[in-house]
Structure 1
Amino acid sequence: MKYSAIILSTLIAVAFARPNASATVTAAPSVVSGLSPAQTCIAACKAGDVDCEAACVGAAHPNSSQVVDTTQCAMKCDQGDGSPAATQKYSACVQACIANHFPTSQT
């Protein structure tokens, strides 16, 4: 009799401990959105083609001679003595080099 009470209570505990078979699991909603024209353009570029990707987003994509010209121009700028006025003059010179040699777009 002792054992029948233990067995009965164990069976009841197991029956209530089982996961509910009728529980439903819903999937997370998926977000579907169309690609922007820039994303479509980038997707069409070859992997690693930064010039193509830059053109898609309207960013500068200079060729190697334009990069060299920009660097050589900036190297000629006087760095001055570190004063605020000299620093401003150096910055203006470098920005002029970038504006003159580094394209903002090549569309």
Structure 2
Amino acid sequence: MHDDSKNLIYFYRENSDKLEKIRNSLHEDKSNLIYPQMKIIDMGFWQIGYVINSWEIEYKKNNKDSELPPLTFDDIKKLLKKESSEMDKQQLDDAKRKVMKEKIVQVP
């Protein structure tokens, strides 16, 4: 097994309490869809990339002549907290339903 794969497994194990809580919360709508552990990690990394990209776009818009400053891990955590606090529960439920509808494919 490749070292990167092992690192992801260790990461999931070390953070399994938090990640399983998230995984179970996505299953609360009583659908039969249970996300695999790797999908939870994928969605987390996607969210990190999304908030970093959004921050870069906003920074460039407001600081046209400046280089992007480096982001620390703490900076990224703050961006994620800000992003999550801006979405209320209804928005999260609507987004979850939309994703569920898009993911379910009817096979004739």
Question: How does the TM-score come out when normalised to structure 1?
Answer: 0.29
Higher alpha-carbon Rg: 1
Larger helix proportion, structure 1 or 2?
A: 2
Larger RCO of the pair (alpha carbons < 8 Å, separation 6+): 1
